[in-house]
Amino acid sequence: MWGCGVLVRARTRSRLRRELFPAWDRGGFAAAPYSASAERSRVRALVYGHHGDPAKVVELKNQELAAVGGSDVHVKMLAAPINPSDINMIQGNYGLLPKLPAVGGNEGVGQVVAVGGSVTGVKPGDWVIPANAGLGTWRTEAVFSEEALISVPSDLPLQSAATLSVNPCTAYRMLMDFEQLQPGDCVIQNASNSGVGQAVIQIAAALGLRTVNVVRDRPDLQKLTDRLKSLGAEHVLTEEELRKHEMKNFFKDMPQPRLALNCVGGKSSTELLRHLAPGGTMVTYGGMAKQPVIASVSQLIFKDLKLRGFWLSQWKKDHSPAQFKELILTLCGLIGRGQLTAPACSEVPLQDYHRALEASMQPFVSSKQILTMC
């Protein structure tokens, strides 16, 4: 009854309903008898009891399913990605650490199976995503509180829904909150092949912004360049090309960037600063190089450059749940209009989590690992 392997591969909504809800008919959903105790042994989750190497500390375990109370929502997870923040959280070096033992995963999409008597915002059959980090999405099913979930359209592509609540939100807020950009303005970013980077390219294109996208040199550079340009990237450069003296002429043909988005740090961020327009802003949201951001005194004094940081979890703390839901709906609109797609993804069954974890930590990763709850 609960298998979703065919669903994930076929993406057939009618089949999803038949598999998850045998009582679904043309007139709507008729509640079917459900015994939590009968299904408890089949609930599986990726759990870690202490911090360390994800490949060593994460284990696939059986869990009991809590009873559904008044404001509870029983969710069957469909898919959940592995993000860098998930890895950092397991390693113990992230700004938000859940109480141990914990279920991994901060993002994903699930389908509502049953709701408590006090629930009004979602109903069986709805698709939902986490409202906040730390929910633990790497599991086959769970019971969450209604306030921990946000409803999204169930006709979204599965991969888009599963990767909606972290990277696209980060990209959108950085493009909107630090500089008053107008169509035709330029944005420069490093780590352009990351999940955030791919979202930045697409959202910027939808807003009429021009992008300079920096990536590390690699054997399949042309393939990556072609993919990023297919998403709307105007220019794709390697970090080595960005350091060349000829870049001065490059910005004679297009405006200097007013906004730089830094996920790397070290020399890469220094180069972004060097090409920023006077008065521009560099926003740091990651530190892949594990090296500090270094800004010269002359850049700060004579160009009046601004250095800022962004963390989506902090943005959520500073804004209401309604504002985050509005952001999600805005992004759903972009997806619906074909202006925002999921990053390049590789779907991996939950039981093959070791392979997915190892792949997610490899260098030059251009494909996000998504766990499918088969």
DSSP string, 152-204: E-TTS-HHHHHTSTTHHHHHHHHHHHSS---TT-EEEESSTTSHHHHHHHHHH
What integer is the mean pLDDT of 40-59?
A: 90
Is the sign of the CA dihedral 175, 269, 84, 97 positive or negative?
negative
Task: List the catalytic residue out of 94, 172, 285, 353.
Answer: 94
**Residue % of the chain over a pLDDT of 70:** 88
Active site residue 353: no
Class at the top of the CATH hierarchy for domain 167-314: alpha beta
Looking at CATH, the fold of the domain delimited by 43-165+343-372 is given as Quinone Oxidoreductase; Chain A, domain 1 (3.90.180)
Q: Does the predicted TM-score (pTM) go above 0.85?
A: yes
- Count of alpha carbons within 13 angstroms of residue 6, beta-carbon side: 12
Over residues 223-259, the pLDDT tens digits come to: 999 999 999 999 999 999 999 888 888 888 889 999 9
The Cα 208–Cα 331 span in angstroms is: 16
Q: Which residues pair with 115 in a beta bridge?
A: 73
Q: Which residues pair with 235 in a beta bridge?
A: 212
Most distant CA pair in the chain: distance in Å? 70
Same fold, 43-165+343-372 and 167-314: no
Could you tell me the residue ranges of all domains in the chain? 43-165+343-372, 167-314
What integer is the mean pLDDT of 277-290?
A: 95
Cα–chain center distance at 366 = 14
Give the 3-state secondary structure of residue 361: coil
Q: Is pLDDT at 155 greater than 90 in this prediction?
A: yes
